């Protein structure tokens, strides 16, 4: 029972990270970050 909390938290973090990674806004932000670093 004590391990359920951290496991659920980890799953939620992974799910949110996955959704964020798949979003167009995040990809656009990454593209702008890459352009700035190459200049």
CB of 3 closer than 8 Å to CB of 11? no
20 and 26 Cβ atoms separated by less than 8 Å: yes
- For residue 12, the enclosing domain spans 3-36
Cα separations in angstroms, 8 against 1, 4, 19, 20, 34: 11, 6, 16, 18, 33
Q: pLDDT of 11-38, one tens digit each?
A: 999 999 888 888 888 888 888 887 776 5
Question: What does the pLDDT read at residue 1?
Answer: 74
Q: Higher pLDDT residue, 23 or 1? A: 23
- Count how many Cα atoms sit within 13 Å of the Cα of residue 30 in the half-sphere of its side chain: 8
Query: Which pLDDT does position 8 carry in this prediction?
Result: 94
Structural Rg of the chain based on CA atoms: 15
The predicted model scores a pTM of 0.55
Total domain count, the chain:
1
């Amino acid at each position: 029972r004590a391990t359920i909390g951290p496991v659920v938290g980890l799953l939620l973090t992974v799910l949110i990270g996955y959704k964020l990674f798949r979003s167009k806004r995040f990809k656009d932000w990454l593209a702008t970050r890459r352009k700035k670093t190459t200049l």
